[in-house]
A and B are shown apart, each in its own frame.
Chain A
Amino acid sequence: MLKLEARPHASAYWSYLSPILAVVLTLITGAILFSSLGEDPLEALYIFFISPVSDWYGISELLVKCIPILLCAYGLSLCYRASVWNIGAEGQLLMGGLIASTMALQFVDSESLWAMPLTMIMGIVGGAAWAGIAAFLKLKMNTNEILVTIMMNYIALNLLVWAVHGPLKDPHGFNFPESALFAESTLLPVLFEGTRLHLGLVFVLLALAVIWVFISKTFLGFQIQVLGLDKSAAKMAGFSQTKLAALVLVVCGGLAGIAGAIEVAGPIGQLVPVISPGYGYAAIIVAFLGRLHPLGITLAGLLMALIYMGGEMAQISLALPSAITGIFQGLILFYLLSCDVLIRYRLRFKSAGLKAVKPIISTQAEGQ
């Protein structure tokens, strides 16, 4: 029988290997899933994971997809580092998109240079304000942030749907639930001719650099790390837990908000009822898979974008529902959490003959 044996120290080695093992296991499960659906597993995996990025256009599309995911995931990683369970990136993204759209619609017939920057800023404000409500409720009222942020996701979604059916609906749009098309001056400029890759990529690279420096080089980033690792140590050192938690929530909201603004003023170009296929939820997986490190998150975000594209490709080429993306997302997180057991425990095969041997360290590893 398999038995878990606590390691004396958490294994750094396995904390890097675990995400890789999780991805490999997901691929194996994917192959089994495809063959049970009557597809050739290798060919299906090729269609899912390789064919979407087999040309430059595909790679540019991959980058377009990973932009909102990465912005949300960088923000979420800050929250999770501080042990703040923010599940609300999706709602913050939607709110950012909604508020940005209200601004963008002021510039429908304008060529103002301010149109795009103001739209982006309103996206940040919308997302940060939405997260700010959650921060206020957590810190002043001591409510559970998981449930609060989830509820706010649903509220944001319904607000967006209401706005697009009501006040923001295009008056000349034949009653379709869509806003007017944004003006050229509002849209994010495309970086490379012939692709949809837009300025949002620059925002992602900026965010990557800033978050990396913030976490590893600044005192505030250090405080957040201490808070996440050991609450009582943070308290002893006099770090304000409430201020730090509010900070990470609002920063995450701002990042998710600009992701929403980027989506409406980038690939979509107007406000529609569905502006995100669950990017905010996918970003949770990305943050964990990337070990909360900016670089790891970037790699995981690219993989997640690929899973989204693979789902679309499976729908086109294999006539499978694109919801297969969600299955892969869930699997990857399950496997990651399972593999993470190897960071703190060794797997031992218990046999009758070795029963007398006592493990050296048998204390229970500290839970969270």
Chain B
Amino acid sequence: MDMDLITNILYAAIRTGTPLLLVALGEMICEKSGVLNLGQEGMMLLGAVAGFIAVYHTDSFMLGFVIAALSGVLASLIFAFVALNFNATQVATGLALTIFGTGLSAFIGSDYEGKTITALPTIGFETLAGIPLIGKALFAQDAIVYFSWIMVIACYLFFRHHRAGLAVRASGENPDVGSNLGLPVMRIRYCAVMFGGAMAGLAGGYLSIAYTPLWTEGMTAGKGWIALALVVFASWRVERVMLGAYLFGFASIMHLFAQGLGISVSSNLLAILPYAATLLVLIMLSKNSEKLKLFEPMALGKPWHKTK
């Protein structure tokens, strides 16, 4: 086991964890406002295909990511309309969004199946990137990785130090009380769902533009679902979402590790690792489910509309 391998594994774990981090942050804010959106996978796929097509035709990464995020927002608006305005079961509506997004993205992307683009370049800070072990992981990443860190800090500050963060939490804990205090619960929830959509779209775009710069049908391979588990794992706290995302990123690239150690296991079996890790985490979490209930937004997933 040499230093280079560890350096590269750290670097790859962060890159692999980044899409998870983005989706999970978006979903966390959505859940904080009391809305459970199981459509992450569908929004990611729509973001992935839209972003990819934009970059394929214009070569503009900026435009690609903006379009990826916007398509996530558009998709989330369908969810918000059905789940919030029509008070439909959020679980089923989220599932509908995932099925719809999977189908629509495959439909739109059928002409681009298997095509590739040049990946988003990394931005290296030369001297810092030379630090042993962690230099490459922290200072030679691409713009979206840095952006995800900014978002982590922004979300943290938003909940800790901003009135609006409190308003989001209020509408997720007790929308009736929030509404009676004059909070526009519906509007807050809409914003939270749209933020979740933007982040999911961006995460999808990251996969198809930067991580593996190509489009294939269903390329998110369950990352949207893993992110949902991640939010529970993080007990709805920003810093733990980040930690969890990178741990999952690490679990997903264990095959690099295994190859480095000279172990040969079928890649199809290793592909099970992130899902098995998620299962394990869910099992471990459930051991103190009573405690977990304390962190869960009280009105999570419950349909609500203003009565007066």
Closest to B228 in A: A147
User: 14 interchain pairs (CB within 8 A)?
Assistant: A4-B86, A151-B276, A158-B268, A162-B266, A166-B266, A166-B268, A324-B107, A326-B104, A326-B106, A327-B100, A330-B101, A333-B95, A333-B99, A363-B307
Q: Flag whether A194 is at the interface (Cβ < 8 A).
A: no
Contact with B along A349-368 (1 / 0, CB 8 A): 00000000000001111011
**Nearest chain A CB to B197 CB, angstrom units:** 15
Known interface pairs A143-B283, A338-B88. Does A327 touch B272 (Cβ–Cβ under 8 Å)?
A: no
**Nearest chain A CB to B280 CB, angstrom units:** 10
| Residues in A54-107 with C-beta less than 8 Å from chain B | 85, 87
Residues of A within 8 A of B (CB): 4, 85, 87, 137, 141-144, 146-148, 150-152, 154-155, 158-159, 161-162, 165-166, 281, 284-285, 288, 320-321, 323-331, 333-334, 337-338, 340-341, 344-345, 362-365, 367-368
Pick the contact of B89: A144, A162, A285, A368 (CB < 8 A). Answer: A368
**Nearest chain A CB to B1 CB, angstrom units:** 27
Pick the contact of B103: A85, A151, A325, A367 (CB < 8 A). Answer: A325
Q: Flag whether B216 is at the interface (Cβ < 8 A).
A: no
Whether the Cβ atoms of A330 and B275 lie closer than 8 Å is: no
Pick the contact of B100: A143, A166, A329, A364 (CB < 8 A). Answer: A329
**Nearest chain B CB to A253 CB, angstrom units:** 16
Most buried by A among B82, B95, B228: B95
Closest to A345 in B: B87
Interface-facing stretch out of B133-141, B158-166, B298-306: B298-306
Whether the Cβ atoms of A326 and B266 lie closer than 8 Å is: no
Whether the Cβ atoms of B268 and A341 lie closer than 8 Å is: no
Whether the Cβ atoms of B305 and A327 lie closer than 8 Å is: no
Whether the Cβ atoms of B100 and A147 lie closer than 8 Å is: no
Q: For residue B78, which residues in chain A have a CB less than 8 angstroms away from its CB?
A: 334
Whether the Cβ atoms of A154 and B221 lie closer than 8 Å is: yes
Q: Flag whether B289 is at the interface (Cβ < 8 A).
A: yes
**Nearest chain A CB to B240 CB, angstrom units:** 17
- Please measure, in the bound complex, the distance between the C-alpha atom of A345 and the C-alpha atom of B87, giving whole angstroms: 10
Whether the Cβ atoms of A334 and B272 lie closer than 8 Å is: no
Q: For residue B217, which residues in chain A have a CB less than 8 angstroms away from its CB?
A: 323
| Residues in B219-243 with C-beta less than 8 Å from chain A | 221-222, 225-226, 228-229, 232
Pick the contact of B282: A143, A154, A165, A340 (CB < 8 A). Answer: A143
